[in-house]
Structure 1
Amino acid sequence: MFQSFKTTSDPSQAKPRLARLRALMAEEGLDALLVPRADQHQGEYVAPCSERLAWITGFTGSAGAAVILKDRAVLFVDGRYTVQAGEQTDPALFEVDSLVDNPPREWMKSNLSTGAKVGFDPWLHTVGEVRALQKALAKAGASAVPLKRNLIDAVWEDRPDEPVGPVIVHPLKYAGVAAEEKLATLAGKLKAEGVDHTVLTDPASLAWAFNIRGSDVPHTPLALGFVILSASAKPKLFLDERKLDQEAKAHLTSLAELYAPSALTTELAALAKAGAKVGLDENLAADLLREVVEENGGTVVHFADPAALPRAMKNETELAGTRKAHVRDGAAITEFLAWLDAQDAGSLTEIKVVEQLEAIRVKVGEAMQMPLKDISFGTICGEGPNAALPHYRVTEQSNRKSAPGELLLVDSGGQFFDGTTDITRTVAVGQPTEEMRKRFTLVLKGMIAISLLRFPEGTRGADIDAFARNALWRHGLDYNHGTGHGVGSYLSVHEGPQRIAKTGVTKLAPGMILSNEPGYYKPGHYGIRIENLIIVSPAEPVEGGDIPMHSFETLTLAPIDRRLIEPALLTEEERAWLNAYHRRVYQEISPLVAPETAKWLEQATAVI
Structure 2
Amino acid sequence: MTPAERLAALRAALRKAGVDGFLVPRADEHLGEYVPPSGERLAWLTDFTGSAGLAVVLPDRAALFTDGRYTTQAGQQLDPALWELRHIIEQPAVDWLKEHAAGGRLGYDPWLHPEAALKRLDPAGMVLVALPANPLDAVWRDRPASPAAPALPHPVQYAGVPAEEKRAAAAQALREAGEDAAVLADSHSLAWLFNIRGGDLAHTPLALGFGLLRADASAELFMEPGKVPAETRAHLGNQVTVRPRAELPAALRGLAGKKVRVDPEATPAWFAETLREAGAAVATGDDPVRLPRACKNPVEQEGARAAHRRDAVALARFLAWFAAAAPAGRETEMSAAERLLAFRREVPLFRAESFPAISGAGEHGAVIHYRATEESDRPIRADECYLIDSGAQYLDGTTDVTRTLWTGPGPAPAALRERYTRVLQGHIALAVLRFPKGVAGPHLDAFARRALWEVGLDYDHGTGHGVGSFLSVHEGPAAFSRAARPVPLVPGMILSDEPGYYLPGQYGIRIENLLLVREAGQRPDQVKPFLEFETLTLAPYDRRLIDAALLSPAERAWVDAYQGRVLAEVAPHCDPATASWLREACAPLMPTA
TM score, norm. by length of structure 2: 0.97
| 3-state SS, counterpart of residue 347 of structure 1 | coil
Matches within 5 A, 1:8-407: 13-114=2-103, 116-133=104-121, 135-138=122-125, 142-232=126-216, 234-272=218-256, 275-343=257-325, 344-363=327-346, 365=347, 370-407=348-385
SS of 1:587 mapped into structure 2: helix
**Contact 2:387–2:508 under 8 Å retained in 1:** yes
Aligned to 2:488: 507
| 2:501 maps to which of 517, 520, 524 | 520
Give how far 1:577 is off. Answer: 0.7
C-alpha distance in structure 2 between counterparts of 1:597 and 1:24, whole Å: 59
Q: What's the CA shift string for 1:38-92, capped at 9, x where partnerless?
A: 1111100001111000111111100001111112111111111112112212111
- Give the letter aligned to residue 353 of structure 1: A
Helix, strand or coil for the counterpart of 1:180?
A: helix
Matches of 1:84 and 1:152 in 2, distance apart? 23
How far apart are residue 428 of structure 1 and its match?
Answer: 0.2
Aligned partner letter, 2:174: L
Q: Which residue of 1 aligns with 2:432?
A: 452
Q: Residues 210 and 233 (structure 1 numbering): CA distance in 2 closer, same or farther, change over 3 Å?
A: closer
1:544: how far off?
2.2
Moved more, 498-507 or 315-324: 498-507
Which residue among 401, 405, 408 is the counterpart of 1:423? Answer: 401
CA contact (8 A) 2:13 2:136 kept: no
1:6 corresponding residue in structure 2:
none
Q: Tell me, in whole angstroms, the C-alpha distance in 1 between the residues paired with 2:527 and 2:216.
A: 42
Is the Cα contact below 8 Å between 1:413 and 1:420 reproduced in 2?
yes
Q: Match for residue 600 of structure 1?
A: 581
Residue type of the partner of 2:116? G
3-state DSSP of counterpart to 2:501: strand
2-side partners of 1:262 and 1:163: how far apart?
A: 16
The separation in 1 between residues aligned to 2:518 and 2:230, in whole angstroms, is 40
Deviation, structure 1 residue 243: 1.6
**Partner Cα distance (1:113, 1:220) in 2:** 39
- Measured in 2, the distance between the counterparts of 1:417 and 1:238 equals 25
Greater shift after overlay, 77-86 or 205-214?
77-86
Give the aligned partner of residue 9 of structure 1: none
Task: Tell me, in whole angstroms, the C-alpha distance in 2 between the residues paired with 1:407 and 1:169.
Answer: 43
Name 1:8's counterpart in structure 2.
Answer: none
Q: Which amino acid aligns with 2:172?
A: G
> Are the equivalent residues in 1 in contact too, given 2:109–2:134 (CA < 8 A)?
yes
Question: Which letter does structure 2 place at the counterpart of 1:526?
Answer: Y
DSSP-derived class of the 2:531 partner: strand
SS in 2 for 1:408: strand
- What RMSD in Å do the two structures reach over aligned CA positions? 1.1
Structure 1 CA distance, aligned partners of 2:102 and 2:489? 44
Q: What is the identity, as a one-letter code, of the residue corresponding to 1:487?
A: V
The match for 2:555 among 565, 574, 591 is 574
Question: Do 2:252 and 2:278's aligned partners in 1 also have CA atoms closer than 8 Å?
Answer: no
Separation in 2 of the partners of 1:67 and 1:127?
17
Asked whether the equivalents of residues 334 and 597 of structure 1 are also in contact (C-alpha less than 8 Å), the reply is yes
* Alpha-carbon shift at residue 253 of structure 1 (Å): 4.5
Partner of 1:491: 471
Cα-to-partner distance string for 1:322-368 (whole Å, 9 max, x where unaligned): 100000001110010000001134111101101100001112x1xxx
Separation of aligned partners in 2, 1:136 and 1:145: 15
Q: Does 1:564 align with 2:545?
A: yes
Q: Which amino acid letter does the alignment assign opposite residue 111 of structure 2?
A: W
> Which residue identity is paired with 1:341?
A
- What's the offset of the Cα at 1:185? 0.7
Alignment deviations for residues 545-580 of structure 1 (CA, whole Å, 9 cap, x no partner): 221110000000010000000011111111111111
Q: What is the aligned residue count?
A: 585
- 8 A Cα contact 1:76 1:98, kept in partner: yes
Shift of 1:136: 1.9
Q: C-alpha separation between the residues in 2 aligned to 1:234 and 1:447?
A: 44
Give 3-state SS (helix, strand or coil) of 2:2's partner.
Answer: helix
State the distance in 1 between where 2:374 and 2:566 align: 35
Q: Could you tell me which runs of 5 or more consecutive residues in structure 1 were left unpaired when the two chains were aligned.
A: 1-11
Structure 1 pair 322/86, CA: closer, same or farther in 2 (3 Å)?
same
| 1:371 shift after superposition | 3.4
Whether the 8 Å contact between 2:349 and 2:396 is mirrored in structure 1 is: no
How far apart, CA to CA, are the structure 1 residues paired with 2:489 and 2:74? 34
Q: Distance in 2 between matches of 1:378 and 1:596?
A: 28
Q: How far apart in 2 are the matches of 1:254 and 1:513?
A: 33
Trace 1:455-470 onto structure 2 (pairs within 5 A): 455-470=435-450
Tell me the amino acid that sits aligned with residue 423 of structure 1.
V
Cα deviation for residue 270 of structure 1 reads 1.8
Deviation of the 1:26 alpha carbon: 0.8
The residue that corresponds to 1:473 in the other structure is 453
Q: Which runs of 5+ in 2 are unaligned?
A: none
1:225 is matched by which residue type in structure 2? G
| Contact in 2 for aligned 1:485/1:498 (Cα 8 Å) | yes
For residue 113 of structure 1, report the CA deviation from its aligned partner. Answer: 4.2
TM-score w.r.t. length of structure 1: 0.95
Question: What is the CA distance between 1:246 and its match in structure 2?
Answer: 2.1
The residue that corresponds to 2:413 in the other structure is 433
Q: Deviations over 1:308-333 (max 9, x none)?
A: 11100001100111100000001110
Offset of residue 266 of structure 1: 1.6
Describe the SS at the equivalent of 2:113: coil
Compute the displacement of 1:19 (Å): 1.6
SS in 2 for 1:462: helix
* Distance in 2 separating the partners of 1:299 and 1:546: 43
Partner of 2:521 in structure 1?
Answer: 540
Give the conservation status (yes or no) of the 8 Å contact 1:345–1:429: no
Return the offset for 1:436: 0.6
Deviation digits for residues 491-542 of structure 1 (CA, Å, limit 9, x no counterpart): 0000000111113311001000000000000000000000000100101111
Q: Tell me, in whole angstroms, the C-alpha distance in 2 between the residues paired with 1:297 and 1:458.
A: 38
Deviations 1:100-131 (A, max 9, x none): 222222210121143x1110001100011122
Structure 1 ranges of 4+ moved more than 6 A: none
